Amino acid sequence: MDSAYLYSVIAVVLTVCNVRLISILPFTRTNNDYRSNKRSTQLTSHEPKPLHLLVFLGSGGHTGEMLRLLQNYEALLLNKDNHLYVGYSDNESLDKLKKLMRQFPTFSIKCYHFKKAREVNSNVLQSIVSILQTLITSFRYILEIKLSMLGKPHLVLLNGPGTCCIIAVWVKLIDFFWLFTSSNIVYVESLARINTLSLTGKILNWLADEFIIQWEQLHEVVPRAKYFGILV
């Protein structure tokens, strides 16, 4: 094969890859009008449509915040026609979800157990091993969920623990190789984060399609973030 032709093919492939990468990574976007008190129009719908929703329950406070998000916007997020995919890392979080969902007996829900990406107080080596294990085991779950969402209104709603980063990475990688798909990842930073981002927030700032903060001063840290006040 002529070397000039080969270089041209490589250049075209790299260009296409770069364009696709830019199209799915939202971190370059800015949000000039980040203040909004129109929570009813921004976060709810007058005529909710069936939604395929993926959420992740980390543990403790993260689970509590996610469950409050679901409750506070149940008209949109817990519509009886929705399909809910729930990732969880501990049985206590799953029990809390089941208690909440007793109020929605006709709801379609499927649960997936994710190994924690990092245990508290683990050293660097232990963290690397656990992250790799989580990466491998979680791919099958995310691919299954992603295939179920194709061509349908969908949302990936995340709010805190490190496993959310792995979920977001897999979603974006599938988007990269599977053309004509969208991820619709919404990340809500923890209420405890007033002036600085969590480690998960710093990572998902590069990956989340919508980055939502609950304290206005965080907009200086994440210029593209959206602010609706306290959500949880």
DSSP string over 217-229: GGGGT-TT-EE-S
Q: How far apart are CA 78 and CA 108, in angstroms?
A: 10
Range of the domain at 109: 3-227
Number of domains within the chain: 1
Does residue 102 fall inside a structural domain?
yes
Left, alpha or beta for 181 (phi > 0: left; psi -120 to 50: alpha)?
A: beta
CB 165 within 8 A of CB 203: yes
Identify the three-state secondary structure at position 211. Answer: strand
Both tokens assigned to 156: 């990936």
Q: What angle do CA 85, 65, 74 make, to 5 degrees?
A: 60
Does residue 232 fall inside a structural domain?
no
Both tokens assigned to 108: 């379609």
| Tens-level pLDDT at each residue, the chain (232 residues) | 567 666 566 666 666 666 666 666 676 555 555 565 444 434 444 456 789 999 999 888 899 999 999 999 998 999 989 999 999 988 999 999 999 998 887 778 999 998 776 666 666 677 777 778 778 888 999 999 999 998 889 999 999 788 899 999 999 999 888 866 778 899 999 999 999 999 899 999 999 999 999 999 998 888 889 999 989 8
Does residue 106 fall inside a structural domain?
yes
Give the domain CATH number at 86.
Answer: 3.40.50
Does residue 33 fall inside a structural domain?
yes
Q: How far apart are CA 227 and CA 217, in angstroms?
A: 10
C-alpha neighbours within 13 Å on the C-beta side of residue 121: 0
pLDDT of residue 44: 46
